[in-house]
Structure 1
Amino acid sequence: MTAKQGDEQEPNGSESLLTVVVAAGVNLAIAVAKVVAGLISGSAAMLSEAAHSFADTVTELLLVVAVRRGARPADESHPFGHGKSAFFWALMAAGATLVVGAGFSITHGVQTILYGEELGDLRVSYVVLAVAFVLEAVSFLRAVHQIRGEARRWRISPRDYVGFTADTAVKAVLFEDAAALAGILVAAGGLLGYQLTGSAVFDGAASVLIGLLLLGVALSLIRANASLLIGQAAPVMLRDAIGAELDARPEVVETVELLTMMLGPNDILVAAKVDFHHQYTGDRLEEAADRVERAITGKWPEVSHVFLDPTPGHAARRRIAEADGTS
């Protein structure tokens, strides 16, 4: 037995798309400015920051693809929809951050530490970093705003929401913008260290640290998306709530088994073996199952598919065993 996907999923997907588009536009503008500043100053940290912003731009373009492809409706070839394609493209985006951003920054930073460098005028670099910090903060606050709104809807803290959400697009923007803000401060520290000491080690070390920040973000997002692609269950909080709803229904004796899977960022499959009261047979059983299904999808619009399998519970199995023993 199945239910149609809830209408409330589309607005959340649209909001995620807006969050990603804002982040992509901001990062592209910042990347160009950082390249110019990096070429003028010759700073490894500035060029690493430029690579960081270009990597973020590529990442967010892939996340746009993820959001749009994941929102495509179900068809004959994909009866459960295309939600998992969002996880695939988000995984590719995390890989881009790992290769383009972290790889370049660490490699360039190590070369600077080993072979040294002489920096030029750093005033442009400081201005670009200051403007970049403001723009990255705007993108970051946009992601935080969405996360707070979703957290209120689930009645949990924003931190807990970030931990369990399958909306990897907005999670990626949040993590990458946070890393970008930290990276800008690190780059500024590297430039200042060079100015105070004349040693390129500070600039190179800043570049390496920026790469390590990107590495941490990329690995975290790769792990999250890989788990979702494999077939991750719905958050424990939601599974427990659905189980409690099933057990509380007057038609149900007990829930024998409850399975869930994330089909997309806001698309959940529920499959349950349920022991219905013995008076529900034939048409009455179908009507009872339909009521239970509608109760679940009405309370959680994210649940797009519900499969209920009438299964004898412990008490029913004991009755069957006793009846078999006396016959």
Structure 2
Amino acid sequence: MTEHQTEQTDRQAEQQTEQQTEQQAGRRPQGDDQGTRRGRHRESMLTVLLALGANLGIAVAKTAAALITGSASMAAEAAHSVADTFNEVLLMVGLRRSGRPADRRHPLGYGKERYIWTLLVAVAIFGMGALFAFYQGVQTLLGHRGGEADPLAGYAVLAVSFVLEAISLRQAWRQVRGDARDEGLPVRTHIRRTDDPTSVSVLLEDSAALAGLTLAFAGLGLHQLTGSAAWDGVGSILIGVLLTAVALVLGRINLNLLVGNQADPRLVRDVRAHLGRAPEIEWVVDIVTMTFGADRVLVCARLDFRDALTSADVERACVRMAQELRERHEEIDEVFLEPVPRDDPELRHRVIARYGRVAPPPSSS
């Protein structure tokens, strides 16, 4: 294929991309970005506070029931709730510390600190919850636990815990579903792409809590029906498996955010299309984006400006385009635009190494 044919193909692809991104951009929320961030911050804080109150009360009740019944499943669930209570405290610390404004030592702010604390939550879920559940289950299967105490107290605590966890889950689900709706994404896709893992953490914790309560109830019931403590031990081990899965999902989400995720692909496409339509731009050479906090995106673009422009024209164009991008997408915080020649071999090599191809040219108007 000749270079001319390649350019024509690339231009057609870019025109299709522009049409798609215009439709997607129309769905994205506009308005006061600071107000939106404050609203989401308050919603996240409410979700965490509600989960904290529920988990604290549940942890006390489960611990008492575990001591009364001698059940390994109940002990595992008590450790689960203690871990969840500790986790909500960590999430609150992360929310508060990540909201601090930028300063000289941290010019992009403290947004990524939220991911550190949420990663610690994942570690705590596994270390405090899953490992203890595995230990209790193995001990029971080896015959070191499993008394015949009346499980009535355990059933009562599990029932009350189920109601409280359901209330907390409802709030977390309402926030996650609302955020997904604002982004125009399915809930599953939003969870995978989110740059604010706080509400997702609570949602996964509460979902695991309800599943764990079901397993604990089954362990208690089968122990009572069969007289074999092995069922109680199996229930405890399954709770450990459940908590390990939640810890791995949360860990992966936060690890990607800490390493530095690309912004929403729809935003990247719209930024490329908008810059390509600017009258001063000959070619959009490269775009690099990164999320560095909840609803905060860094955009770096290398642009080949038209040769007839003066340096003053380029400066004014950069200021205007940066402002336009912030107005189009409230989550864009910082914009860096770099004038470059598109035929520079070293730059071309770096772009191909990253994306496998050079960015297509802007469509002609």
TM-score w.r.t. the length of structure 2 is 0.82
Q: 1:14 pairs with 39, 42, 55, which one?
A: 42
Matched, 1:119 2:140: no
3-state secondary structure, aligned to 1:83: coil
Matched, 1:86 2:114: yes
Separation (CA, whole Å) in 2 of partners of 1:158 and 1:232? 19
3-state secondary structure, aligned to 1:211: helix
The residue number in structure 1 matching 2:137 is 109
Q: Deviations over 1:86-132 (max 9, x none)?
A: 11111112111111001101111111111151231111211111111
The residue number in structure 1 matching 2:305 is 276
Matched, 1:308 2:342: no
Change (3 A) 1:109 1:157: same
Q: 2:281 pairs with 252, 256, 262, which one?
A: 252
Q: 1:100 pairs with 128, 137, 150, which one?
A: 128
The residue number in structure 2 matching 1:184 is 213
Conserved? CA contact 1:280–1:288, under 8 Å: no
Moved more, 49-58 or 219-228: 219-228
Conserved? CA contact 2:260–2:291, under 8 Å: yes
Aligned residues: 312
Q: Mind listing any 5+ residue stretches in structure 1 that lack a counterpart? A: 318-327
Q: Deviations over 1:197-240 (max 9, x none)?
A: 11111111111111111111112212221222222222333322
The residue number in structure 1 matching 2:93 is 65
Separation (CA, whole Å) in 2 of partners of 1:28 and 1:310? 56
Conserved? CA contact 1:6–1:297, under 8 Å: no
How much does 1:303 deviate?
1.1
How much does 1:79 deviate?
0.6
Letter in 1 for 2:56: L
Letter in 2 for 1:199: S
How much does 1:53 deviate?
0.5
Matched, 1:158 2:158: no
Q: Mind listing any 5+ residue stretches in structure 2 that lack a counterpart? A: 1-31, 348-365
Conserved? CA contact 1:44–1:112, under 8 Å: yes
Separation (CA, whole Å) in 2 of partners of 1:245 and 1:108? 58
Letter in 2 for 1:232: N
Conserved? CA contact 2:54–2:164, under 8 Å: yes
Separation (CA, whole Å) in 2 of partners of 1:238 and 1:301? 11
How much does 1:292 deviate?
1.2
Separation (CA, whole Å) in 1 of partners of 2:279 and 2:142? 72
How much does 1:20 deviate?
1.2
Conserved? CA contact 2:192–2:253, under 8 Å: no
Q: Deviations over 1:134-160 (max 9, x none)?
A: 111111111111112111211111221
TM-score w.r.t. the length of structure 1 is 0.91
Separation (CA, whole Å) in 2 of partners of 1:249 and 1:188? 63
3-state secondary structure, aligned to 1:78: coil
How much does 1:30 deviate?
0.7
Separation (CA, whole Å) in 2 of partners of 1:124 and 1:204? 18
The residue number in structure 2 matching 1:200 is 229
3-state secondary structure, aligned to 1:271: strand
Matched, 1:226 2:255: yes
Conserved? CA contact 1:27–1:56, under 8 Å: yes
Separation (CA, whole Å) in 2 of partners of 1:244 and 1:134? 49
Moved more, 290-299 or 178-187: 290-299
Q: Please list every run of at least 4 consecutive aligned residues from structure 1 whose deviation after the TM superposition is greater than 6 angstroms.
A: none
Percent identity reads: 44
Separation (CA, whole Å) in 2 of partners of 1:10 and 1:275? 37
Matched, 1:128 2:157: yes
Letter in 1 for 2:330: P
Letter in 1 for 2:332: V
Separation (CA, whole Å) in 2 of partners of 1:248 and 1:59? 47
Conserved? CA contact 1:140–1:177, under 8 Å: yes
Separation (CA, whole Å) in 1 of partners of 2:222 and 2:267? 49
3-state secondary structure, aligned to 2:142: helix
Letter in 2 for 1:299: R
